[in-house]
Amino acid sequence: MKTHEPQFEDRIRFNWGYHDAAFDVHRGNPRLTGSPGQQSLTYVSRQHDIAYYEGYIRGVADAKTGVCTDDSTAAWQAYRELTA
């Protein structure tokens, strides 16, 4: 199996996941499986790209609660506090 360093920074990949999630929720098709708290993306594993995955999970949660804006900064800050 090939492994390589991501081409883009974690913050950028997190942002992509966050906004992809918001769009998916808006169109009624978030790509998640499992129950709340145990969800996973149907096409990206946590091990494959943790930054995108975490952004997506947070984007879905924010979009469903109406907190999601065009800016993922607050979600990124919360994620960074958990991983620091």
Asked whether residue 70 is domain-assigned, the answer is yes
Ranges under pLDDT 70 in the chain: 1-6, 33-47
> For the chain, how many structural domains are there in total?
1
What is the reported pLDDT for 74? 93
Asked whether residue 4 is domain-assigned, the answer is no
Asked whether residue 2 is domain-assigned, the answer is no
Asked whether residue 3 is domain-assigned, the answer is no
pTM above 0.75, yes or no: yes
What is the reported pLDDT for 49? 83
Residue ranges making up the domain that contains 27: 14-83
Asked whether residue 62 is domain-assigned, the answer is yes
Asked whether residue 53 is domain-assigned, the answer is yes
b/e map 34-70, b = 16+ CB within 10 Å: eeeeeeebeebeeeebbbbbbbbbbbbbbbeeeebee
Asked whether residue 40 is domain-assigned, the answer is yes
